[in-house]
Amino acid sequence: MKIYLTALGCRLNQAEIETLARSVQAAGHHVAARPEEADWAIINTCTVTHIATRKSRQLIRHLRALNPHLRLAVTGCYAQISADELQAIEGVDLIAPNADKGRLVERLLALSPSKGAPPATASSAAPGLLGHTRAFVKVQDGCDNHCAYCIVAIARGPQRSRPPAEVLSEVRARVAEGYQEAVLTGVHIGAYGRDSAPDAPLAPSAGWSLARLIREILEATTMRRVRLSSIEPWDLSPELVSLWPNPRLCRQVHLPLQSGCDAILRRMGRKYSAQQFEELVGAIRRRVPAASITTDVIVGFRGESEEEHKASLKFVERMRFSRLHVFKYSPRPGTPAANMPGQIPAAVTQARSEAMIALGRRLARDYHGRFVGEEVEVLCESAREEGGMRLWTGLTDNYLRVTLPSSEDLANALVRVRCLTADEAGLRGELLRA
């Protein structure tokens, strides 16, 4: 069979869909490049906001419109939280909650007419199989924080770490397949080793931490780059910061702020003040001066006054983030914030979102502009044709998006580039050597 796989939302969802793609191959079936040519589609959904929920539903219907004969298997956080809504969508053949994700391919194949027993094949997901030249490696799942606005802890359950031997084995496997960068993903990766789920593989006294795991990956594998996904501010330990002189640990930290106003942070149930956050950012920049510090910001949270919004804007500007992900607050059923008073009118939230996004664009331009004239190393990902030229795009270790012209095949290649111009999206440069 041909099975099309896609995911919405976070990098953890991407990591899981890549694992499912390998399961498809290991079962002797094919990963389809397009839904039009597939027998089945697997969709790893998101429900972190009402917009993510809407996009999940739209994607399901869009895939069915592209291929009316396509059978659909839906998993992920939307499937976990709203299975009843999914059952009402025409064409959904299989719904798998997050706990059953590991058996999803097996369940899907059991529902399919036999096409003869396929030969078992070794999993081989070379870079680019699902459009990614970076390997997303899941190191943990679940979260114990229960921030007031967040439904993910409900959808994903309590904190549980993946055994370190499994993580190391997967990183080595991705090296053997040709990947040059591994992105460590999870819901709350900073809690690695502090398991609370009854069936979690690591006990709290096991002696593992994210810093120890990263050190083991750097010492025991030859992966050229190791990148962290989002890490909560309270998990950024001195031991972790001390690892950054290693040139293989990417100089990027995604540190979710959510608000630059202390009163809002308290209502959100966040475990730090704006001043503590600022001190963490200072510690990173002293250790790694060119580090890219990216963040998430929520606008329009329950009861957010105009003064609180302006305080958040001012703080974000002072932090000089290299990239902002701006979210309009979205009430999620079952979370404490959903019942809080002080709902902000949609027009006000929209205006605040636009102001924060505009600030984020300016900060991105400023950060990118620092590298004009510099030499950087770029991991090339994909190419497009523009004005008769073939333009490659890729990322530096400190998360600069760089575009460069070249007629060579640079897919998954690490190349040296001189940066020539910058804007809010990234930089343009010229190839120096492959």
11-43 pLDDT, tens per residue? 999 999 999 999 999 999 999 999 999 999 999
Give the pLDDT score at 116: 47
Same domain, 319 and 404: no
Same domain, 17 and 139: no
Domain stop point among 322, 337, 369: 369
Same domain, 426 and 347: no
User: What is the percent of the chain where pLDDT is above 70?
Assistant: 94
pLDDT band at 387 (very low <50, low <70, confident <90, very high): confident
The average confidence (pLDDT) of the chain is 92
Q: Is the pLDDT of residue 122 over 60?
A: no
Give the pLDDT score at 280: 95
Domain stop point among 369, 403, 419: 369
CATH number at residue 340: 3.80.30.20
Q: Is the pLDDT of residue 131 over 80?
A: no
Name the one residue in this structure whose structure tokens are 């605040």: 352
Contact 75, 97 (CB under 8 A): yes
Q: Of 78, 32, 40, 80, nearest to 58 (Cα)?
A: 78
The boundaries of the domain holding residue 388 are: 375-433
Same domain, 384 and 297: no
Could you write out the three-class secondary structure of 395-433? ECCCCCEEEEECCCCCCCCEEEEEEEEEECCEEEEEEEE
pLDDT tens digit string along 142-188? 999 989 999 999 999 999 999 999 999 999 999 999 999 999 999 99
Same domain, 353 and 397: no
CA distances from 315 to 84, 108, 217 (A): 42, 49, 35
Give the pLDDT score at 398: 96
Cα separation, 169 vs 177, whole angstroms:
12
Give the pLDDT score at 61: 94
Q: Is the pLDDT of residue 121 over 50?
A: no
pLDDT band at 204 (very low <50, low <70, confident <90, very high): low
CATH number at residue 44: 3.40.50.12160
Same domain, 289 and 396: no
Q: Is residue 118 in a domain?
A: no
Same domain, 92 and 54: yes
Q: Is residue 428 in a domain?
A: yes
Q: Is residue 128 in a domain?
A: no
Q: Is residue 186 in a domain?
A: yes
Same domain, 285 and 356: yes
Mean pLDDT on 337-366: 97
Q: Is residue 125 in a domain?
A: no
Same domain, 249 and 145: yes
Q: Is residue 121 in a domain?
A: no
Mean pLDDT on 382-410: 94
Domain stop point among 72, 93, 110: 110
Q: Is the pLDDT of residue 63 over 60?
A: yes
Give the pLDDT score at 119: 47
Give the pLDDT score at 206: 76
Mean pLDDT on 287-308: 96
Give the pLDDT score at 120: 45
Give the pLDDT score at 65: 94
Mean pLDDT on 377-391: 92
Give the pLDDT score at 342: 96
Q: Is residue 115 in a domain?
A: no
pLDDT band at 197 (very low <50, low <70, confident <90, very high): confident
Cα separation, 349 vs 299, whole angstroms:
6
Number of helices followed by number of strands (H, E) in the chain: 13, 18
Same domain, 345 and 426: no
Q: Is residue 122 in a domain?
A: no
pLDDT band at 205 (very low <50, low <70, confident <90, very high): low
Q: Is the pLDDT of residue 379 over 80?
A: yes
Same domain, 248 and 382: no
Give the pLDDT score at 123: 43
Neighbours of 31 (CB within 10 A): 18
Cα separation, 32 vs 3, whole angstroms:
5
Structural domain count of the chain: 3
Same domain, 143 and 264: yes
